[in-house]
Amino acid sequence: MAHKKPIDIITSHPVLDEILTAHQDYIGKLFAGYRNHCFIVYNLVRHASDLDQEQDTALVIAAAFHDLSLWTDGSFDYLPPSIAIAKIYCQSTGRTEIAPLVEAMILYHHKVFTGKLKKMDPLIAAFRNADWSAVTFGLIPFDMFTRHRRAIASTFPDKGFHWFLVWRAIKHIFTGGLLNPLPMMKW
């Protein structure tokens, strides 16, 4: 079972770090917080899944791009633009074969209603669960031993990322968001 794996936390990854560093000017002062969030999600999925190299590459690309358009597009409706820049990245780096999996992980990572996920690659659901666990500080436990979740989270401090998300959600709701639901509430 996944929870019996030793706690082996990855703190750097060449692909993830390359993508994030290329967008550091957009992310600005929240760079460390977003990088840490990406690594929490990445490590949670790694500890819950047995991944081959192709799945690991898809996971790390999805982790880097999944919320990136919050900054690159400045919009809280960031899933379509995050998918678009992830697809461009996959094409420009010769990874077109994993682009559909990366797209699905980003598209479904905030979904509340998950019926469709049962018919999809299990990595998509694992990515969704890991992001929900990261965003909720483990209140959604992601089927892991608490010590794994705590060890991963303590390695990567928040650095203001969650407050940024709360502020952006409030701003979105009060500036027309009632007519444009939050990404996780869209069907």
Q: Is residue 1 part of a domain?
A: no
Read off the pTM.
0.86
Q: Is residue 3 part of a domain?
A: no
HEC readout, 32-46: HHHHHHHHHHHHHHH
- The answer to whether position 165 is within a domain reads yes
**How far from each other are the two terminal CA atoms of the chain, in whole angstroms?**
32
The residue count of the chain comes to: 187
In the structure, what pLDDT confidence band is assigned to residue 73 with cuts at 50, 70 and 90? confident
pLDDT tens-place string over residues 35-69? 999 999 999 999 888 899 999 999 999 999 999 98
pLDDT, one tens digit per residue, over 82-138 is 999 999 999 999 999 999 999 999 998 777 666 666 677 889 989 988 988 888 887
Cα separation, 7 vs 26, whole angstroms: 32
Q: Which amino acid is at 94?
A: G
To the nearest whole number, what is the mean pLDDT of the chain?
Answer: 84
As a whole number of angstroms, the distance between CA 101 and CA 81 comes to 16
pLDDT of residue 1: 41
Residue 4 lies in a domain: no
Provide the pLDDT for residue 9.
94
Q: What is the pLDDT, as a whole number, of residue 113?
A: 61
Q: Is residue 167 part of a domain?
A: yes
SS3 for 5-16 is: CCCCCCCCCHHH
Whether the per-residue pLDDT at 187 is higher than 60: the answer is no
Number of domains in the chain: 1
pLDDT at position 182: 56
Please indicate, yes or no, if residue 66 is contained in any of the structural domains.
yes
What residue numbers bound the domain in which 180 lies? 11-185
Name residues whose C-beta falls within 8 Å of residue 50's C-beta, 6 or more positions apart in sequence: 2
CA–CA distance, 94 with 118 (Å, rounded to integer): 29
Per mean pLDDT, which range of 1-5, 147-151, 163-167 is the poorest? Answer: 1-5
- The conformational region for residue 124 under phi > 0 = left, psi -120 to 50 = alpha, else beta, is alpha
Share of the chain above pLDDT 70, in %: 82
Task: For residue 64, tell me if it sits in a domain.
Answer: yes
**Is 163 domain-assigned?**
yes
Please give the pLDDT value at position 177.
56
